Structure 1
């Protein structure tokens, strides 16, 4: 399948590093002009330079997605500069791990603002322009954490991503007759700079053992799923989230999974 995004204007939030950087890069490789919308200008500029060095098109817009006014300024910049908008990808997220017992209002507010409320703001502000596109695409980076599994100290994050999935379904229904689709991707364990800073190489190897495919995912794995959902070929898909997790949410128990693989390994090596 050949995806053609030539002349498409695509916003990718949180694209200074990690999954967002991968999405921006892959979309640019397929012809889109990508607006790298990120809070940190330095990392965002690196993404822009990487894209341009490979012949792609990208522009930087520094903004804090936790504030509605910043979202308005982002959309205004895109329309004034390019005159159109085709694809909006909200990937930016915050992840301040904190026990429920000590979670502060400020931590809860920033998590809900960036991860969830920005989805409303971006959709509302971009809607008039997406209606004028040949076909509009609104995409979100959700997570398996919240909608499918949970971890300690992430109640606020899990709630934001579960809420995001609900938003995706409801917005898809409301916007379907406007020729706008709304979908998301639920990443599992993806090896990003943020994850690498939190875990050692040994820790990453231990995590990989709990994943049926035996490895951590890459940013590109999420980017290609997004690319399909943004394509014209995905015109009949809306209100859905695609899990990209190497099968990590499939086992009932990681312990039993490891025992299963070990026993089969022994069987296959006997004799």
Structure 2
């Protein structure tokens, strides 16, 4: 586990340093995590200066932060009675919301991922695919691989594959061993999902490109995402409606009411 400290220096500059690397053997219980964080803070002499802790949304982290909050509040009054102490990772929440959306086409995503891998695995197949695309006057580069653990990479793979949706059936006609070509209905569903996820991708891109993705940056993007979900939650298309409602449920779980720390950051943002 890596423990990182962020603070404002005397020149009002945001600083960031790695405070400690800690080996925590499985099963990574919250009590061990809390103990390691507190021990590191004490070694640096900052156990009474901790303003907030930001972690991924795992149950063991929830336990750890709850224990730390209780321990620290015994000797120091926390701001806003501790409401600002536990800051959930916005990027991780965003990922959870999107995963709920992508889960609606998990089988289709697998078929497209397998298709991309099948084409790119052989130089001959890749050339054949490119020739068909050229015949159909489809511009663009070759198919993109994705990283299964990064939703934005999956979105980029799907978005790229959609451009070549008319190439795959013709490629199947020429390549007999290719028997898992997505259907026309599969492509329609994929296009619908990507139309919703595009705003999420833009948000992630903005946040990830910042050296310091502070709370004031998140709030503006979350408002845009909320508008998209609110606009599509009663969509005429039952497929989109079901997907967006699942995503909105997860969104509202964490951001249904304005997150206090985001509100404070927005007001103080120069």
Task: State the TM-score, normalized to the length of structure 1.
Answer: 0.36
Higher strand share: 1
Higher helix share: 2
Greater Rg over alpha carbons, structure: 2
Task: State the TM-score, normalized to the length of structure 2.
Answer: 0.36
Report which structure shows greater RCO (CA 8 Å, sep ≥6): 1
